[in-house]
Amino acid sequence: MMPAGQLPFSIPEAIVGRLSAARHLTALTGAGISAESGVPTFRQAQDGLWSRYDPTELASPQAFERNPTLVWQWYAWRRGIVDRAAPNAGHLALVALEQFFPNLVLITQNVDSLHQRAGSRAVIELHGSLYRTRCSREGKIISGYSESATPPICPECGAFLRPDVVWFGEPLPAEAFERAAQASENSDVFLSIGTSSLVFPAASLPLIARQNGALLVEINPEPTPLSDQADYALVGPAGLVLPALLDALRAARQTPRS
């Protein structure tokens, strides 16, 4: 039996070789990377948010129109969970990878800011952030507002404020997606980490990378629709696989090539 906390496989040489030679590394993360920080994912059967809550009641413009107080409170509850969480070994390994790849582009579907709190520099947020609030009428990001009403009221126009997150039926921020697609296209190696690969257009990014010649590596304890299309599916939690990948890369960089 493997000791707890150790991967039952080593990182394939071919991945390490491609990473050692790569200039552009792009990573896409989903809720799974924050699971080991105690932040619930969406689609896991036991404790995924969408197994306990109905997204149409909480994460759509119609839901906010029907019951803005409930929607605001639900996001405030999620922000509370994230406030008490800390970045885990997976987040930290992605920060450390920036030593090898100063241009590393980290694209996330997460709204929890744990990558930024870990210290990642260039994070592209595809689905917004729990830590930004915007006017539901004019879209402007608002920071100084009174919490006395739920939801709070826009100090400029009097409309309700809402979390600056992407809801079902809403488009992704165009500029963020454009940058993400560009980075995917330019990548030599693309890591798809902790995402069920079910939600588009984010799920199209690994495919763009693969079509343009990147080595596509998935990191996930469970199979996803992407697994068969990836060059490698590393089956395990991000908090173990990413540090192992980092160690393997460090070892390869220290070993002079013959």
Q: Find the binder of ligand OAD among 42, 72, 74, 190 (CB under 6 A).
A: 42
Q: Which residues, 114 to 153, sit near ligand OAD by CB under 6 A?
A: 127
Tell me which of 70, 92, 95, 199 binds ligand OAD, using CB under 6 A: 199
- Would you call 91 a catalytic residue per the annotation? no
Q: Which stretch binds ligand OAD (CB under 6 A): 27-35, 72-80, 132-140, 227-235?
A: 27-35
Contact range with ligand OAD by CB under 6 A, out of 134-142, 150-158, 177-185, 233-241: 233-241
Q: Where are the beta strands (DSSP E) in the chain?
A: 25-29, 105-108, 123-125, 128-135, 161-165, 189-193, 215-219, 232-234
On whether the CB atoms of residues 256 and 27 are closer than 8 A, the answer is no
Q: Is 214 in the site for ligand OAD (CB under 6 A)?
A: no
Q: Which of 141, 135, 144, 143 is nearest to 68 (CA)?
A: 135
Q: Does position 43 bind ligand OAD by CB under 6 A?
A: yes
Cα gap 10→2, rounded to integer Å: 12
The rounded Cα 67 to chain-centroid distance in angstroms is 28
Residue 61's Cβ-side half-sphere holds a number of Cα atoms within 13 Å equal to 8
Looking at residues 65 to 94 of the shown chain, list those that interact with ligand OAD (rule: CB under 6 A): none
- DSSP state, residue 167: P
Instruction: Kindly list the residues in this chain that would bind ligand OAD in the complex (CB under 6 A).
Output: 30-33, 35-36, 41-44, 48, 59, 109, 127, 166, 194-196, 198-199, 219-222, 224, 237-239
Write out the catalytic residue numbers.
Answer: 127
